Structure 1
Amino acid sequence: MANNAADRAGCRGNGALVPPGALAAAPEPQRPEEGVVCDLAGLAFPGPQGRGAAEEIVQNAPGPTWACDVSGYATYAVTQEPRIVAGIRSSPGYVEQPRVTGRQVSGFDPHHVVADCAGTPTYFSLELGQKYHDAVDTPGTPRIQELFDTFVEAAGKRFGCSAPTS
């Protein structure tokens, strides 16, 4: 079915799509550690400081895609999967966006962008949940751009993104 859909869309590429031999077990929920959110040192907690009671589920398997859900607060995702990035880049509304931590980026909006990571196009996405929106006026809750900046810095290191040069 996937091969037929890829053929109809004209995006099959070289060779047939093949299902994985086995699927990894679903990750278990865990509590964020102090100074480490979603297994990323330096990532800001997406809610009021001192309220690390939220659980997170981190899809941390090796590969071109990483994701983390901090229950009710935020969902982070990164991919370097070429077919996904190509689809994003060819979508309507994909345009240059304001720089993120000094990096030139393009995307749909300032929190769904593609950056160049050591020559590899890398998509970063941040979706905010209702608990974040409910806490936005609570002291110690980081602003959206701060969350996104710390996310791109922390996740970027995992994906080979060096600090931008001026």
Structure 2
Amino acid sequence: MQSFQGTPLPTKRRRRGWVTATGGITALLTMAALFVHWNTNFLGEQEFCDGIVSSTEMSSVLDGAGRISTVSSLGKVTPAFACRVERTSRFLGKESTEIHISTGVHEPDFPFQTRVWKDPSAMSFFSNGTTGAVSGERGWVLLPEVCWTKVGTTQLAQVLPRSGEVTTLDAVIENGTVDRQALAKMLAAAAHRIAERAGCGVGGPVETPRLQPVKTAPTTAGAVCGLPGFTLPRKALIDGEATLGTEQTSGRASDTWACGMHLSGSAQAVIWFSTTSDPRLVGPALLGDKNFRDIADGAGKVNRSRSTAALTCGAEKVFFSMRWSDEYSDATRDDVIQVSRAMFQGFIDSAGKRHGCPAVKLASS
């Protein structure tokens, strides 16, 4: 009788096959788990910026596939803070997007006169409750005035505003754009938490900001920026370099409004005009600016070096601002001072009528 010593071999092969299959399944499960970890927020951070921003709010802003995580955070022991948060992914072909959120200290006319905020006419201003504005790349919210002596900006330590400066919560997006409404909602809620944590909150629920639309249209001679009677001085336009083109407007005249004139021609110049009657912006910090000079008839104050003015118009104070790009200064050359004075006077004359402001004559020097 023959003996078959090889009969156990099939059982060993099955065992090795089972082990190989199990190893393959484990590898697939591991890769799947890593893919979920790299490209979703499953079991991710529940809050950001030391509790100032919730996971839900951050996910709404940094929307899309990817993992949201903290890059850095400063200010755990002071009301002022700065943090960086990024959304990254792998194997999806998406570039990382980062948001930098921080408390900031600014001069009160910063939304209209500083290069940091670039183009006020591209910002969607808030029209209810909170004072602020957002675009797809950046945003700001003004903290309550009672917070300006308690919350500042953070470096190695907190730096509080000086007299005449204000405190804001700022956000800047790097390498991408975000939904404006989501950014506005997050900033309003975060500013509320900062104020409460600093003991300067004003109470009440956080109201979701309503955003004013941004509109673009051709510029009409004799009604620049939609202001009837507003005509640019003759020397303000240069054939072939800077002529009437298109204008972008944001906000509403009864609150905060901005217009950006994008001139046609080789200079690619831009001129910005802005007004606001928001008492949070046209308040003691602005009106106490030592660079403002009284207008002769007592109707308000003017700062000629910055092309800004604040007029008393009935029961409200109205702030007027004009600014232009370096390309416009280069195009107008030696006439820039004369042109700017005439243009600012014409702007106040026309825009002031919308607010019932008195007619004023700005000094020629």
Q: CA deviation at 1:15?
A: 4.3
Equivalent in the alignment of 1:75: 272
Is the partner of 1:143 in helix, strand or coil? Answer: helix
CA gap of 1:98–1:78, structure 2 versus 1, over 3 A, is: same
Structure 2 unaligned spans of 5+: 1-189, 263-268
Identity between Structure 1 and Structure 2 (%): 22
Residue type of the alignment partner of 1:25: P
Q: Which structure's residues are more often helix, by fraction?
A: 2
- Taking the aligned partners of 1:85 and 1:137, their CA distance within structure 2 comes to 32
Relative contact order (alpha carbons < 8 A, sep ≥ 6): 1 or 2 greater? 1
| Alignment map for 1:1-16 (pairs within 5 Å) | 1-6=190-195, 8=198, 10=200, 15-16=204-205
Q: Report the CA distance between 1:98 and its aligned residue.
A: 5.5
User: Residue type of the partner of 1:80?
Assistant: S
- Alignment correspondent of 1:152: 348
Q: Aligned partners of 1:13, 1:87: CA distance in 2, in Å?
A: 19
The answer as to whether partners of 1:113 and 1:125 remain within 8 angstroms in 2 is yes
1:41-88 deviation line (CA, Å, top 9, x unaligned): 232337316754421112253541111011233111100001111264
Q: Choose the corresponding residue for 1:25, options 213, 226, 234.
A: 213
SS of equivalent residue, structure 1 residue 43: coil
Q: Is the 8 A contact 1:48 1:138 kept in 2?
A: no
Query: Hey, what does 2:293 align to over in structure 1?
Result: 97
Q: Is the 8 A contact 1:106 1:114 kept in 2?
A: yes
* Contact map agreement 1:114 1:122 (CA 8 A) in 2: yes
2: distance between equivalents of 1:55 and 1:164? 29
Rounded to whole Å, the distance in 1 between the matches of 2:277 and 2:191 is 20
Q: Does 1:133 align with 2:329?
A: yes
CA distance in 1 between partners of 2:256 and 2:192 (Å): 21
Larger Rg: 2
Structure 1: gaps spanning 5 or more residues: none
Task: Please give the secondary structure, in 2, of the residue aligned with 1:124.
Answer: strand
Q: TM-score, normalised by structure 2?
A: 0.37
Which among 255, 278, 283 is matched to residue 86 of structure 1? Answer: 283
- Calculate the aligned-residue CA RMSD, in Å: 3.5
What is the alpha-carbon distance in structure 2 between the residues aligned to residue 90 and residue 6 of structure 1?
A: 24
